[in-house]
Amino acid sequence: MSNINLIESFQEFKDFKNIDRPTMMSVLEDVFRSMIRKKYGNDENCDVIVNTDNGDLEIWRTRVVMEDGFSEDDDLEIELADAKKLDASLEVGDEYIEQITLESFGRRAILAARQTLVSKILELEKDEIFKKYKDRVGEIVTGEVYQVWKKETLVLDDEGNELLLPKSEQIPADYFKKGDSVKAVVSKVDMLNSNPKIIISRTAPEFLQRLFEQEVPEIFDGLITIKKIVREPGERAKVAVESYDDRIDPVGACVGMKGSRIHGIVRELKNENIDVINYTNNLQLYIQRALSPAKITSIKLDDEKKTAAVYLKPDQVSLAIGRGGHNIKLAGKLTGYEIDVYREADEQDEDVDIEEFSDEIESWILDEFKRIGLDTAKSVLALTVNELVKRTDLEEETVKDVLSILQAEFE
């Protein structure tokens, strides 16, 4: 039968990537049955046969042969005289089965059906993409950068689905251009105005966790468990791991021989400094490990306030705090305790390296003192305000602020 290009146009839908064959056949049948109902008022006596492999469509209508003058519904029944004209062998009570061509519906009805089909297919396609990615939240995906905007980057997956990588979910050192390959974790999936919105992230702790699972077979196999991950994306991360097998060193397994396993992760995260520590239920030991590489002298815990007073030798304070305060901040997030650092001096007059004040004094100011050879607190305090202003590029007010901070250390 001639299908007026309709079925040819339907063939393009059968290859939709996210819709299975039974669903596609069901949608096609629904569209055609809707056409039948509009024309005949009823589709109960019609059979719609759709072949999505070659695009063939057959519609068959069955009507009961009635005695002349006794037909009440022409859509369900046919009078004997009319039936005899079509098939002389028919008698009252027989079923007359006829094939309905698409041409009989008219061009306008056919175009409307195609429009309805396009709409339903696109809706199904969006629903399938939404369901697919809703189930993949927390998984790593790899895509290709398609477009870079100021606030976000559009990434296409292997099937051409659109993924959004907002600027806030990118590592500060990330720089993408069209065609670049991007690896990220599916962070959030929403429906916005009937369109799936898939957000991916490179800053989420789950991204680092999935990278460890890819690089460390023991984690993937469940021999090593990642207890917690905290990150300052692009700067530093701390990963607490635990092994259920005494023969396996969890930290060593994660780092690998000469750092072979962790190097790939560090490169992917734009040289983010990753500390892998052994998890323990001993809170004092856990805090001590969390503040690595600093060596702690003693710890005083307040379990009610969830605070920890950590005492260190002066040369260990800057290590505990870390550049930009990242080390102590992440250690607090990892352990769940607010950590306060205290310098422990053996003698009252012991000097302190000015780097130890990096949490209170900006680094460019400290650099200005070191430039003129003043690298300890007492060497700075030994000079007057005027002398310091003359020898540095600092303003008098700034110098006074620094001196008060340094002086407080020895009071």
Q: What is the pLDDT of residues 185-196, one digit of tens each?
A: 999 999 888 889
Q: CATH number of the domain that 82 lies in?
A: 3.30.1480
Query: Which range is least confidently modeled, 21-25, 134-138, 316-320?
Result: 21-25
Supply the pLDDT for residue 10. Answer: 52
Percent of the chain, pLDDT > 70? 92
**Residue 225's pLDDT band (cuts 50, 70, 90):** very high
- Asked if residue 183 and residue 93 are part of one domain, the reply reads no
Average pLDDT for 141-155: 95
Query: Contacts by 145-154 with C-beta closer than 8 Å and gap 24+?
Result: 145/176, 145/177, 145/178, 145/179, 145/180, 145/181, 145/182, 146/178, 147/178, 148/176, 148/177, 148/178, 153/182
Instruction: Answer with the one of 152, 178, 201 that is the final residue of a domain.
Output: 201
Q: What is the pLDDT of residue 2?
A: 42
Whether 343 maps to a domain, the answer reads no
The 3-class secondary structure across 302-318, one letter per residue, is ECCCCEEEEEECHHHHH
Q: Is residue 289 part of a domain?
A: no
Q: In what order do the strands lie in the sheet with 273-278?
A: 224-232, 236-243, 273-278
Residues 11-29 pLDDT 10s:
555 555 556 667 777 777 8
- Cα–Cα dist 131/196, whole Å: 9
pLDDT in tens, 327-358: 999 999 999 999 998 887 554 456 788 888 88
Q: Verify that 265 and 219 share a domain, yes or no.
A: yes
Mean pLDDT of the chain: 85
Domain match, 123 and 163 both: no
Kindly report the CATH number assigned to the domain that includes residue 225.
3.30.300.20
Looking at per-residue confidence, does 120 or 257 come out higher?
257
Regarding whether 177 and 264 lie in a shared domain, the answer is no
Assigned domain for 65 exists: yes
Q: 313 pLDDT band (50/70/90 cuts)?
A: confident
Give the number of other CB atoms < 10 A from CB of residue 160.
10
Res. 245 pLDDT band, cuts 50 70 90? confident
Encode pLDDT of 45-89 as tens digits: 888 887 656 556 788 888 888 888 777 777 777 888 888 888 888
Distance in angstroms (rounded) separating the CA atoms of residues 399 and 332: 32
Q: Total structural domains in the chain?
A: 4
- Are residues 361 and 257 located together in one domain of the fold? no
Domain assignment present for 81? yes
State which of 279, 296, 320 marks the end of a domain: 279
Q: Which domain holds residue 150?
A: 137-201
- Are residue 10 and residue 121 in the same domain, yes or no? yes
236-243 and 273-278 beta bridge pairing: parallel
How far apart, in whole angstroms, are the C-alpha atoms of residue 363 and residue 341? 19
Question: Last residue of some domain: 201, 218, 250?
Answer: 201
Confidence of residue 1 (pLDDT cuts 50, 70, 90): very low
Of 108-112, 318-322, 376-380, least confident by mean pLDDT is 108-112
Share of the chain above pLDDT 90, in %: 40
Residue 362 falls inside a structural domain: yes
Task: Give the CATH number of the domain where residue 154 resides.
Answer: 2.40.50.140
173 and 87 both lie in a single domain = no
Angle between the 21-40 and 107-134 helix axes, to the nearest 10 degrees? 150
E-strand ranges in 132-215 read 140-148, 152-156, 162-166, 181-192, 195-201
| Residue 299 falls inside a structural domain | no
